[in-house]
A and B are shown apart, each in its own frame.
Chain A
């Protein structure tokens, strides 16, 4: 059974600083997703990481995947207030006879302070 753990669960940071959110998963998952959720809103897809060593960047966010270490990271560069949200990672499980499914981490609630 795939388990996904994120840390930290709560992150308060100052504008302009850098930080990394970590996502560990328990069994083989060769695909990893990152989502963002604003308060009271639904989830928005940020990144899909498809293979070992994959790196994706969008603005101040950069995600990477190390399948051997079963670890994905979401790095925040020079944080701004607009990045305040909850970030989820999700591991991917493919079932041969039916559709795939995701297992989500608990989420990291990020607050960027002026």
Chain B
């Protein structure tokens, strides 16, 4: 079974803090993704990576950066957290190919005070 894990289930941070969210997958997937989920807005793609050290902006990259130094690990960084970044953050990974499917981690619920 594919396993995608996220470093924290819940986080509380203060405005202006630097926040790291980590995601690890154990299926040697090429692609990894970070989404945020907000009520009424569904899932929105922040950044994704299709290879080590490669990254692409998603639909809402402002205020975020990412790092992928190893294939299995994809980090989301909030350089200076703001209250409007309070959200549920979901990481996903997928292989490439005709039947590729994104597998999601359990999510990190972040509260910025």
Contacts and interface: CB of A to CB of B under 8 A. Distances in A.
A100 B96 contact: yes
A43 B104 CA distance: 6
A48 B101 CA distance: 8
Interface stretch (B12-20, B41-49, B75-83): B41-49
Interface string A88-111: 101000010011111111110000
B42 A42 contact: no
What is the predominant secondary structure among interface residues of chain B facing chain A? strand
Give the size range of B's interface with the partner: 20 to 34
B56 A45 contact: no
B104 A42 contact: yes
B42 A50 contact: no
A42 B33 contact: no
Interface size class of A (residues with CB under 8 A): 20 to 34
B70 interface: no
Interface of A: 9, 33, 35, 41-45, 48, 50, 88, 90, 95, 98-107
Given A45-B103, A88-B42, 8 more contacts: A9-B40, A41-B106, A43-B104, A98-B50, A99-B56, A102-B102, A104-B42, A106-B42
